Amino acid sequence: ESGKDSQDKKKNHIKALLVAATDCEPQYLIRLLQTKLRIGLAEQTLLAALGQAAVYTEEHSTPPPHIQSPLDEAAKIVKQVYSVLPVYDKIVPALLSDGVWNLPKTCSFTPGVPVGPMLAKPTKGVSEIVAKFQDMEFTCEYKYDGERAQIHYLENGSVEIYSRNSERNTGKFPDVVAVISRLKRPSASSFILDCELVAYDREKKKILPFQILSTRARKNVVMSDIKVNVCIYAFDMLYLNDQPLIQKELKVRREHLYSSFEEEPGFFQFATAITSNDLEEIQKFLDAAVDASCEGLIIKTMNKDATYEPSRRSHNWLKLKKDYMESIGDSLDLVPIGAFHGRGKRTGVYGAFLLACYNINNEEFQSICKIGTGFSEQVLEERSASLRTQVIPKPKSYYRFGDTIKPDVWFEPKEVWEVKAADLTISPVHRAAIGEVDPDKGISLRFPRLVRVRDDKSPEQASSSEQVAEMYNAQKHNHQNNQDDNDYDD
C-alpha cells in the first residue's frame, strides 16, 4: 500500500490477519510486526515458504518422479526463479495458476525485468589472483569508473536502462538509448546487456572521471541539452533472442556479446580485456588500465565456475583497484644490494635483485624487497651486465637484512632504481624502517616493479627509512578511509 490513506489500509490488513489467526499465530504476527521474531525471517525464508505452501496447496499435482523431497525442491525452485525474476506479482499468480513444478517455465528471466548485477570481490594483488585462479582460464577487463547499467532491448524495439539497484534510469540516458538502437546488429532482436556508462570526451578521445558523469541531470533529459557525453563499455550479455544466457559460461556469453554489436569509439566499445595468467603481463595491463583513467581491473573466470550470478558478490569475479597501488603514493628510489641467479629463460642473467632503502641516522642500507618483475629482457641484461662489475665477496657491514635472505651475490651500493609497488606490509624478513613502525620488524613492498634507473641519484639519496615508514602509515590511513567508502563501491 502506498499513497493516500495507506496507513489506514495497512492497519486494516493487519486487523484482518489477526482476526483470521488461530492458536499461536497472533503471537508470531505481533512479534513479526515488532521485528522481534528472531528466526532470521528474511527474503530467503519467505521464498522457501512460498514454495512449501505451493506443495501443500497443490493437492492434485504430483511432483515429477525424480524428485525425492518435494518441500525442499519446491523451495529451491522458487528461490531460483526469484533470482532471475524478482517480482512477487508475477511469481504468485504463476504459482496459483500452473503450480510450482511448472514455475521455471511460466516465470523466467525476461527483458523488461532487471536482475541485480553480479559483483566482484576485492583482492589485494596480482599474485593473489594468479593463486586463486590457478589452473583456470581467466580474463582481465578494465574496471571503468562510471555507472553500472543493465540495458534491456525488447522485441518491439523499446529500450530500458536500469541502475545497479534495478531502478529505471531510461529517462537519464536518451543518448544511450539511441546508441544502442543504432549499433546493435540486425541479428539481435532482444537482449540484456551488462555494461558501464562512462563520461567521455569525444574530441580528446578520453575517459572522464566519475565526478563529471554525476553532473548529468537525473530525469527527463532532452538530447539537445546533453553536455556530458557517455560511452557504453559493454562486458556481458545475459540474454539474447529469447534465450537466457546466465547459465552459460562467460566465454560463450562474450562471443554472443561480440557478435551482437558494432563498436564505435566514444559511443559503444567492448571493455578492454586480455586473457593471460602471466603475472607480469597482468601487472602491465593493470598499469595500462590506470593510465586509461580506469579504476583497475576485474578478473573473471572464463569456463569453469563462470556462469552469471545475479545480485551476488561472487568469488569468480575479483576486482583489483588502483587504490591499492596509489595508496603508497609515490614510487620509491631503492638500491640493489644483492642478486639471485636467473633460471630457465633467465639463465645467464640475474633473475631477481635484493633492494634496500637508506637509513640516514645509522648510515645503513636496509633491505626492503626482492624484485623480479618489470624488466624487459633488454633491461634485465643491461642491469645484470652493469651490476656484475659491482660484485663484492660479502655483504657490507652496513647492510641490514634478515638471516633467511641469502642472495647469490652482493653488490657495492652503486645504482638507484625507481620502483612502484602494490602496497607496503610489515615483514619479519626485511629490515626497512625497523624500529619505526614495529620494534622488531621491518617493512617490505608487495609486488614491486622496476620503473627506471635513476642515473641522477646517488645511493645515499635513495628513499629513506623515514619516508618508507611515512608511506606505510599513510597507506594504513588510506585503507581505513577506503573501508568506510566500501558501501558505495562498484
Q: Choose between 110 and 482: whose C-beta lies nearer to ligand NAG.
A: 110
The answer to whether 71 contacts ligand NAG (rule: CB under 6 A) is: no
Window contacting ligand NAG (CB under 6 A); options: 48-56, 78-86, 152-160, 284-292: 152-160
For the bound state, the minimum distance from the C-beta of residue 191 to ligand NAG, rounded and expressed in Å, comes to: 14
Q: Amino acid identity, residue 153? A: Y
Q: Rounded to whole angstroms, how far apart are CA atoms 314 and 490?
A: 13
- Cell matching residue 83: 533470482
Find the binder of ligand NAG among 17, 30, 154, 226 (CB under 6 A): 154
Judge whether 294 and 300 are in contact, CB under 8 Å.
Answer: no
For the bound state, the minimum distance from the C-beta of residue 155 to ligand NAG, rounded and expressed in Å, comes to: 7
For the bound state, the minimum distance from the C-beta of residue 4 to ligand NAG, rounded and expressed in Å, comes to: 26
Is 205 a catalytic site residue?
A: no
Phi/psi for 323 (5° steps) reads -50, -40
Q: Residues touching ligand NAG: how many (CB under 6 A)? A: 4
Find the binder of ligand NAG among 112, 171, 329, 428 (CB under 6 A): 112
Chain length of the chain: 490
For the bound state, the minimum distance from the C-beta of residue 111 to ligand NAG, rounded and expressed in Å, comes to: 9
The answer to whether 303 contacts ligand NAG (rule: CB under 6 A) is: no
The answer to whether 189 contacts ligand NAG (rule: CB under 6 A) is: no
The answer to whether 480 contacts ligand NAG (rule: CB under 6 A) is: no
For the bound state, the minimum distance from the C-beta of residue 112 to ligand NAG, rounded and expressed in Å, comes to: 6
Q: Rounded to whole angstroms, how far apart are CA atoms 409 and 279?
A: 25
Q: How far is CA 152 from CA 162, 185, 233, 237, 471, in A?
A: 8, 15, 15, 10, 46
Window contacting ligand NAG (CB under 6 A); options: 154-162, 255-263, 361-369, 379-387: 154-162
For the bound state, the minimum distance from the C-beta of residue 113 to ligand NAG, rounded and expressed in Å, comes to: 10
The answer to whether 156 contacts ligand NAG (rule: CB under 6 A) is: yes
Q: Choose between 112 and 428: whose C-beta lies nearer to ligand NAG.
A: 112
Q: Choose between 156 and 215: whose C-beta lies nearer to ligand NAG.
A: 156
* Neighbouring C-beta atoms of residue 425, cutoff 10 Å: 16
Phi/psi for 182 (5° steps) reads -80, -40
Non-local (6+) Cβ contacts of 13 within 8 A are: 1
Q: Choose between 2 and 156: whose C-beta lies nearer to ligand NAG.
A: 156
> What is the three-class DSSP state of 92?
helix
Element (H, E) at 413: none
Q: Rounded to whole angstroms, how far apart are CA atoms 296 and 322?
A: 5
The answer to whether 209 contacts ligand NAG (rule: CB under 6 A) is: no
Nearest by Cα to 365 from 424, 415, 325, 298? 415
The answer to whether 181 contacts ligand NAG (rule: CB under 6 A) is: no
For the bound state, the minimum distance from the C-beta of residue 181 to ligand NAG, rounded and expressed in Å, comes to: 11
For the bound state, the minimum distance from the C-beta of residue 156 to ligand NAG, rounded and expressed in Å, comes to: 4
Window contacting ligand NAG (CB under 6 A); options: 150-158, 309-317, 321-329, 450-458: 150-158
Q: Rounded to whole angstroms, how far apart are CA atoms 72 and 53?
A: 11
Q: Amino acid identity, residue 431? A: R
The answer to whether 215 contacts ligand NAG (rule: CB under 6 A) is: no
- Cell matching residue 23: 492458536
Window contacting ligand NAG (CB under 6 A); options: 38-46, 151-159, 225-233, 285-293: 151-159
Q: Choose between 69 and 181: whose C-beta lies nearer to ligand NAG.
A: 181
* Neighbouring C-beta atoms of residue 202, cutoff 10 Å: 11
178-181 LR contacts (CB < 8 Å, sep 24+): 178/223, 179/232, 179/264, 179/267, 179/268, 180/151, 180/153, 180/232, 180/268, 181/153, 181/157
Q: Choose between 159 and 354: whose C-beta lies nearer to ligand NAG.
A: 159
User: Dihedral (C-alpha) 396, 413, 401, 451: value to the nearest 10 degrees?
Assistant: -170
**Given 36, 132, 143, 406, the catalytic residue:** 143
* Neighbouring C-beta atoms of residue 267, cutoff 10 Å: 20
Q: Choose between 154 and 226: whose C-beta lies nearer to ligand NAG.
A: 154
Q: Amino acid identity, residue 82? A: Y
The answer to whether 361 contacts ligand NAG (rule: CB under 6 A) is: no
Find the binder of ligand NAG among 6, 12, 158, 486 (CB under 6 A): 158
For the bound state, the minimum distance from the C-beta of residue 168 to ligand NAG, rounded and expressed in Å, comes to: 12
Q: Rounded to whole angstroms, how far apart are CA atoms 192 and 236?
A: 9
Instruction: List contacts with ligand NAG (CB under 6 A).
Output: 112, 154, 156, 158
Annotated active-site positions, please?
A: 143
